[in-house]
Structure 1
Amino acid sequence: MAAELTTHVLDTSREGPAEGVTVTLQRLDSDGDAETLADGTTNDDGRLDEPLLTPDEMEAGTYQLQFDVGDYYRRSETGSTFLETVPVRFVIEEPDEHYHVPLLLSPGGYTTYRGS
């Protein structure tokens, strides 16, 4: 598998993909300042149409994905207003490897992991 950064969002309360979630990728410098590198919106499969980082863009460093879930939930049947933005901060140590960072979402919480 190519060295890329990808993500997807699953809504565990609906047992399926979360469509229409805006995802922003930022790189953090040593002072914690963030530079936005990419963004996109999840499709009907809960995935972005393109990788957040391509093989040529992969670099070691600290990154943050921001999942803007507030609008998603306000449009949903639950109408939950608890979560607005879910930040996931992680480190890419081996830029020649594939990094997949999924978000498992529910109205009252979330979890993430390094996927394959």
Structure 2
Amino acid sequence: MSGRLTTHVLDLVRGIPASGVFLQLRRLENGESQLLREAATNSDGRLDAPLLEDADMKPGEYELLFHAGDYFRKMDAAISEASSPREQESAGFLDLIPIRFHIGTGGGHYHVPLLLAPGGYSTYRGS
């Protein structure tokens, strides 16, 4: 099966790519979870190589686990005393963000972007 799996993380509050977001890719099968890859986003919010490609693109259920809490703790070290209590509280709201998805038998490019903010996130199947 040919194709590739990629991701991209954007920090919606700062309006920049989210650099240094640690993530894990797991394959889910028969109630088990197999760790396939760990990586961190580069300065463009992307990975230097696809998470999966070509022969590694097997049909099945997968999970991307984004360590958003660690990212925000690093970024929020820069939050000043002038920040409101609500801003400071929402900075610690998200921790781990799991995105589960299915890769079919047809191959192709699977792109799973994460649009990230301290109080919420969004994702979709990109191109």
| Runs of 4+ residues over 3 Å off in structure 1 | none
| Unaligned ranges ≥5, structure 1 | none
**Greater helix fraction, Structure 1 or Structure 2:** 2
Q: Given the alignment of the two structures, is residue 26 of structure 1 paired with residue 13 of structure 2, yes or no?
A: no
**Greater strand fraction, Structure 1 or Structure 2:** 2
Match of 2:107 among 96, 101, 110: 96
Percentage of identical aligned residues:
51
Paired with 1:95 and 1:22, the residues of 2 have a C-alpha distance of 29
Contact 1:9/1:46 (8 A) holds in 2? yes
In structure 2, the partner of 1:62 is: 61
CA RMSD of aligned residues (A): 1.3
| Unaligned ranges ≥5, structure 2 | 80-87
Q: TM-score, structure 2 length as denominator?
A: 0.85
Question: SS of 1:4's equivalent?
Answer: strand
Q: TM-score, structure 1 length as denominator?
A: 0.93
In structure 1, the partner of 2:43 is: 44
Paired with 2:64 and 2:53, the residues of 1 have a C-alpha distance of 16
Aligned residues between the structures: 114
Q: Compare CA radii of gyration and give the structure with the larger one.
A: 2
